[in-house]
Protein backbone atom coordinates (compact mmCIF):
# COMPACT_ATOMS: atom_id res chain seq x y z
CA UNK A 1 0.00 0.00 0.00
CA UNK A 2 1.44 3.37 -0.97
CA UNK A 3 1.55 6.60 1.01
CA UNK A 4 -0.26 8.84 -1.46
CA UNK A 5 -3.96 9.52 -1.00
CA UNK A 6 -6.95 10.90 -2.86
CA UNK A 7 -8.87 13.69 -1.15
CA UNK A 8 -12.66 13.70 -1.72
CA UNK A 9 -14.37 16.91 -0.61
CA UNK A 10 -18.12 17.13 -0.19
CA UNK A 11 -19.78 20.42 0.69
CA UNK A 12 -23.21 20.13 2.26
CA UNK A 13 -24.54 23.48 3.33
CA UNK A 14 -21.84 25.09 5.40
CA UNK A 15 -20.32 21.80 6.57
CA UNK A 16 -17.35 20.47 4.58
CA UNK A 17 -16.53 16.76 4.80
CA UNK A 18 -13.06 15.54 3.74
CA UNK A 19 -12.53 11.82 3.04
CA UNK A 20 -8.98 10.41 2.63
CA UNK A 21 -8.93 7.37 0.33
CA UNK A 22 -5.58 5.49 0.48
CA UNK A 23 -4.16 4.49 -2.92
CA UNK A 24 -2.63 1.12 -3.66
CA UNK A 25 0.79 0.63 -5.32
CA UNK A 26 1.35 -1.98 -7.99
CA UNK A 27 5.14 -1.74 -8.08
CA UNK A 28 5.85 -3.57 -4.82
CA UNK A 29 9.20 -3.57 -3.06
CA UNK A 30 12.32 -3.65 -5.19
CA UNK A 31 14.33 -6.82 -5.18
CA UNK A 32 18.05 -7.03 -4.45
CA UNK A 33 20.45 -5.53 -6.98
CA UNK A 34 23.98 -6.38 -7.96
CA UNK A 35 25.59 -9.61 -9.14
CA UNK A 36 24.31 -12.89 -7.79
CA UNK A 37 27.46 -14.75 -8.78
CA UNK A 38 31.11 -13.88 -8.10
CA UNK A 39 32.19 -10.56 -6.68
CA UNK A 40 32.72 -8.38 -9.76
CA UNK A 41 35.50 -6.45 -8.01
CA UNK A 42 37.76 -9.51 -7.93
CA UNK A 43 36.27 -11.90 -10.52
CA UNK A 44 35.01 -11.36 -14.05
CA UNK A 45 31.24 -11.07 -14.31
CA UNK A 46 29.15 -11.48 -17.44
CA UNK A 47 29.23 -8.63 -19.95
CA UNK A 48 27.00 -7.94 -22.94
CA UNK A 49 26.94 -10.25 -25.96
CA UNK A 50 29.86 -9.67 -28.37
CA UNK A 51 29.96 -9.85 -32.17
CA UNK A 52 32.96 -10.89 -34.28
CA UNK A 53 34.03 -11.94 -37.75
CA UNK A 54 35.81 -15.11 -36.69
CA UNK A 55 37.21 -18.38 -38.01
CA UNK A 56 35.74 -21.56 -36.54
CA UNK A 57 38.28 -24.30 -35.74
CA UNK A 58 38.17 -27.76 -34.22
CA UNK A 59 40.00 -28.00 -30.91
CA UNK A 60 41.45 -30.95 -29.03
CA UNK A 61 42.00 -31.16 -25.28
CA UNK A 62 45.47 -32.16 -24.13
CA UNK A 63 47.04 -33.49 -20.97
CA UNK A 64 50.16 -31.43 -21.60
CA UNK A 65 50.96 -27.99 -22.96
CA UNK A 66 53.01 -27.18 -26.05
CA UNK A 67 54.87 -29.48 -28.43
CA UNK A 68 56.98 -32.33 -27.17
CA UNK A 69 54.81 -32.98 -24.14
CA UNK A 70 54.49 -36.40 -22.59
CA UNK A 71 50.78 -36.50 -21.85
CA UNK A 72 49.32 -36.85 -25.32
CA UNK A 73 45.68 -36.19 -26.02
CA UNK A 74 43.01 -36.27 -23.36
CA UNK A 75 39.42 -37.46 -23.42
CA UNK A 76 36.54 -35.12 -24.22
CA UNK A 77 36.48 -34.01 -20.56
CA UNK A 78 39.44 -33.40 -18.30
CA UNK A 79 39.75 -32.63 -14.60
CA UNK A 80 39.06 -28.92 -14.93
CA UNK A 81 36.48 -28.54 -17.66
CA UNK A 82 35.57 -28.92 -21.30
CA UNK A 83 36.13 -26.87 -24.46
CA UNK A 84 32.96 -26.84 -26.58
CA UNK A 85 33.72 -24.42 -29.44
CA UNK A 86 36.71 -22.34 -30.53
CA UNK A 87 36.93 -19.35 -32.89
CA UNK A 88 39.69 -16.88 -33.60
CA UNK A 89 39.78 -13.51 -35.32
CA UNK A 90 42.31 -13.63 -38.18
CA UNK A 91 45.04 -11.03 -37.86
CA UNK A 92 47.65 -9.44 -40.11
CA UNK A 93 50.83 -11.49 -40.53
CA UNK A 94 53.53 -9.25 -41.99
CA UNK A 95 56.04 -10.48 -41.02
CA UNK A 96 54.71 -11.70 -37.65
CA UNK A 97 51.05 -12.12 -36.78
CA UNK A 98 49.22 -9.43 -34.86
CA UNK A 99 47.62 -10.43 -31.58
CA UNK A 100 43.85 -10.64 -31.96
CA UNK A 101 40.94 -12.34 -30.21
CA UNK A 102 40.34 -15.96 -29.26
CA UNK A 103 36.71 -16.87 -28.53
CA UNK A 104 36.09 -20.04 -26.53
CA UNK A 105 32.82 -21.66 -25.43
CA UNK A 106 33.68 -23.71 -22.35
CA UNK A 107 32.40 -25.16 -19.11
CA UNK A 108 34.10 -26.09 -15.87
CA UNK A 109 33.37 -27.12 -12.30
CA UNK A 110 33.64 -23.65 -10.73
CA UNK A 111 37.39 -23.68 -11.41
CA UNK A 112 39.33 -20.44 -10.93
CA UNK A 113 41.82 -19.54 -13.65
CA UNK A 114 44.48 -16.86 -13.12
CA UNK A 115 46.50 -16.76 -16.36
CA UNK A 116 46.57 -17.85 -19.99
CA UNK A 117 49.53 -19.19 -21.98
CA UNK A 118 49.90 -19.88 -25.69
CA UNK A 119 52.49 -21.61 -27.85
CA UNK A 120 52.48 -20.58 -31.49
CA UNK A 121 52.39 -17.32 -33.42
CA UNK A 122 53.62 -14.56 -31.10
CA UNK A 123 52.83 -16.78 -28.08
CA UNK A 124 50.95 -14.06 -26.18
CA UNK A 125 50.37 -14.83 -22.50
CA UNK A 126 49.85 -13.17 -19.14
CA UNK A 127 47.94 -12.98 -15.88
CA UNK A 128 44.29 -12.03 -15.94
CA UNK A 129 43.38 -8.69 -14.36
CA UNK A 130 40.72 -10.54 -12.34
CA UNK A 131 40.00 -14.16 -11.49
CA UNK A 132 38.28 -16.07 -14.29
CA UNK A 133 35.73 -18.40 -12.70
CA UNK A 134 33.81 -20.80 -14.94
CA UNK A 135 30.92 -22.96 -13.78
CA UNK A 136 28.99 -25.83 -15.35
CA UNK A 137 26.92 -23.50 -17.54
CA UNK A 138 28.56 -23.20 -21.00
CA UNK A 139 30.20 -19.77 -21.05
CA UNK A 140 31.70 -17.70 -23.85
CA UNK A 141 35.17 -16.51 -22.82
CA UNK A 142 36.90 -13.78 -24.85
CA UNK A 143 40.71 -14.01 -24.66
CA UNK A 144 43.12 -11.44 -26.20
CA UNK A 145 45.72 -14.04 -27.19
CA UNK A 146 45.11 -15.24 -30.76
CA UNK A 147 48.05 -14.84 -33.15
CA UNK A 148 47.46 -17.60 -35.68
CA UNK A 149 49.67 -17.49 -38.81
CA UNK A 150 48.04 -18.07 -42.19
CA UNK A 151 49.46 -21.58 -42.53
CA UNK A 152 47.40 -24.74 -42.88
CA UNK A 153 48.14 -27.25 -40.16
CA UNK A 154 50.04 -24.80 -37.94
CA UNK A 155 49.14 -25.94 -34.42
CA UNK A 156 48.30 -23.27 -31.85
CA UNK A 157 48.38 -24.35 -28.18
CA UNK A 158 46.45 -22.67 -25.35
CA UNK A 159 46.58 -23.22 -21.59
CA UNK A 160 44.10 -21.68 -19.17
CA UNK A 161 46.10 -22.00 -15.97
CA UNK A 162 44.97 -22.19 -12.36
CA UNK A 163 48.21 -20.47 -11.33
CA UNK A 164 49.80 -17.17 -12.33
CA UNK A 165 52.87 -16.48 -14.45
CA UNK A 166 54.97 -15.75 -11.36
CA UNK A 167 53.61 -17.44 -8.26
CA UNK A 168 51.51 -20.56 -8.14
CA UNK A 169 48.93 -21.19 -5.41
CA UNK A 170 50.05 -23.90 -3.02
CA UNK A 171 49.77 -27.30 -4.64
CA UNK A 172 49.10 -25.91 -8.12
CA UNK A 173 51.59 -26.78 -10.85
CA UNK A 174 52.36 -24.33 -13.69
CA UNK A 175 50.52 -26.55 -16.16
CA UNK A 176 47.46 -27.13 -13.99
CA UNK A 177 44.42 -26.05 -15.94
CA UNK A 178 42.72 -26.69 -19.26
CA UNK A 179 45.08 -27.26 -22.17
CA UNK A 180 43.86 -27.44 -25.75
CA UNK A 181 45.11 -26.95 -29.30
CA UNK A 182 43.76 -26.23 -32.76
CA UNK A 183 45.10 -25.89 -36.29
CA UNK A 184 45.34 -22.49 -37.95
CA UNK A 185 43.91 -21.86 -41.42
CA UNK A 186 45.95 -20.60 -44.36
CA UNK A 187 43.02 -18.83 -46.02
CA UNK A 188 40.58 -17.89 -43.28
CA UNK A 189 36.90 -17.56 -44.16
CA UNK A 190 35.53 -15.82 -41.06
CA UNK A 191 31.83 -15.95 -40.29
CA UNK A 192 29.61 -13.65 -38.24
CA UNK A 193 29.55 -14.78 -34.62
CA UNK A 194 27.53 -13.25 -31.79
CA UNK A 195 28.09 -14.77 -28.39
CA UNK A 196 25.19 -15.44 -26.04
CA UNK A 197 24.91 -15.18 -22.28
CA UNK A 198 26.92 -15.69 -20.24
CA UNK A 199 29.82 -13.92 -22.02
CA UNK A 200 33.01 -12.96 -20.15
CA UNK A 201 35.51 -10.43 -21.51
CA UNK A 202 39.01 -10.98 -20.10
CA UNK A 203 42.01 -8.68 -20.01
CA UNK A 204 45.69 -9.35 -19.31
CA UNK A 205 47.90 -7.41 -16.92
Percent of the chain clearing pLDDT 70 (strictly above): 68
203 vs 205: CA distance, rounded Å: 7
Assess contact for 144 and 44: CB atoms under 8 A.
no
pLDDT digits (tens, 9 = 90+) for 63-75: 666 555 444 444 4
Residue 25: exposed, middle, or buried by beta-carbon count in 10 A (0-12, 13-18, 19+)? exposed
pLDDT digits (tens, 9 = 90+) for 32-58: 333 345 789 999 999 999 999 999 999
58 vs 124: CA distance, rounded Å: 20
59-62, strands of its sheet edge to edge? 59-62, 177-183, 155-161, 111-119, 126-134
Q: What is the per-residue pLDDT for 173?
A: 56
Across 76-85, average pLDDT: 76
pLDDT digits (tens, 9 = 90+) for 165-201: 665 555 555 557 888 999 999 999 999 999 999 999 9
Whether 204 has a pLDDT exceeding 60, the answer reads: yes
Residue extents of the structural domains in the chain: 51-201
Q: What is the per-residue pLDDT for 37?
A: 58
Amino acid sequence: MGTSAIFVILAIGVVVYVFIVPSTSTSGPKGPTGPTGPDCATSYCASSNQSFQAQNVTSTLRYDFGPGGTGGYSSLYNAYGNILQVYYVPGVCNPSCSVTTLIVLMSSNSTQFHSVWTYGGNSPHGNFTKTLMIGTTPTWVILPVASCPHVDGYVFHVLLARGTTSTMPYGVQPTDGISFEFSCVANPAPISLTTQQPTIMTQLE
